[in-house]
Amino acid sequence: MLSRVADSVYWMSAYLERAENVARFIDTNLNLLLDVGESVEEQWQPLINTTGDYDAFAHKYGAATRESVFQFLIFDRENPNSILSCLRAARENARMIREIIPSVMWEEANRFYLLVRNQARQNSLDDACRILERVKRSVQVIVGISESAMSRGEAWHFARMGRLLERADKTSRILDVKYFLLLPTAAEVSTPVDVIQWSSLLKSASALEMYRKARGRITPLAVADFLILDRDFPRSMHFCLIEAEASLHAITGSASGTFQNDAEQQLGRLRSEFDFVHVHDIIQEGLHEFVDRFQQRLNLVGQAITDTFFAVRPMPGPAYQEAAQQ
């Protein structure tokens, strides 16, 4: 597979997943707003802080309000992580590989982007909640097309790897929002928290029903354990790393537990850490600190994948070719 094709497949999938998870991210905060009696800025400011876009937001909008945060995270064309920007990037990548992906996938991505773009031109936030729900459903439609209509070749594995690594990052951020708002320090992690609030968090990750079946009673520690370390739930960070590594080995052909390049080494090392860590170790370190360190490690994995598969390398010059012939 050409590196540019692999790059487009990978990022198309990652950007779609990012758009869906930003929608879940905002939805989490909306649900928390019903339960947490705090001032407007205290409620919305952490949402910007945990995305890592505070400086850009503050420069353009100043104080964090519901309207300004909605505009920045949903419709802002200058914010590369807004839903509109993610959908535009996903659509452009899909356009470049139309011969690789099913035509219905391209049609859905194109139609969905145009819908959100038209809503942004109206500059109306009245239907923002409806758009968030539509984002989640439309991305799931595209994922379903990928699962049911794509051969399990390199393109499918690059798409799955991009989706899962992005999902692992955003699951960590969704969880971090909750702790950032209500349990900002490690010393406060053991304090009682209303079950309704934790239920809203699980719903935002589509995890409530599966959590109930697996863990029963809702507690902060069990929720963190489920979303971080569970091996079977598709949105847990551990599950995403396991399956992303499986796709990476399917692409390279190397055996599980070995590595032939930096991408396999970085991802395998991160996955193995999750194999042997306990949720109590995470809480002792501090969930926010653990998530921050995880995101840094995940960035190294992403950079290694780029360098290994997507980076353009210069052709060897005449001097190198002459030396190789000697």
What residue ranges do the domains of the chain occupy? 1-150, 163-312
Question: What integer pLDDT is reported at residue 127 of this predicted model?
Answer: 72
**pLDDT at site 324:** 45
pLDDT, one tens digit per residue, over 59-100 is 899 888 888 888 899 999 999 999 999 999 999 999 999 999
Conformation bin of residue 37: beta by default, left when phi > 0, alpha when psi is -120 to 50? beta
Give me the chain's average pLDDT, please.
85
Whole-model pTM?
0.88
H-state helical runs in the chain: 3-33, 40-51, 54-61, 66-70, 83-96, 103-122, 128-149, 154-182, 195-204, 208-215, 220-229, 237-252, 262-276, 279-285, 287-305, 318-325
Q: Which residues neighbour 302 within 8 Å (Cβ) at sequence distance 6 or greater?
A: 165
Q: What is the pLDDT of residue 42?
A: 57
Residue with the larger pLDDT of the pair 319 and 142: 142
Q: What CA–CA distance (Å, rounded) separates 10 from 2?
A: 12
Please report, as a single letter, which amino acid is at residue 223: V
Scanning the structure block, which residue is given the tokens 């069990």?
Answer: 222
Give the span between the Cα atoms of 167 and 190, in whole angstroms. Answer: 27
Pairwise CA distance, residues 106 & 123, whole Å = 26
Which residue has better confidence, 99 or 193? 99
pLDDT at residue 194, as a whole number: 59
**36: pLDDT strictly greater than 60:** no
Residue with tokens 């002792």: 284
- Pairwise CA distance, residues 273 & 265, whole Å: 12
The stretch 211-238 carries a mean pLDDT of 93
Cα–Cα distance list, 112 to 26, 104, 108, 118, 250 (Å): 19, 12, 6, 10, 31
Measured between alpha carbons, how far is 258 from 238 in angstroms, rounded to an integer? 19
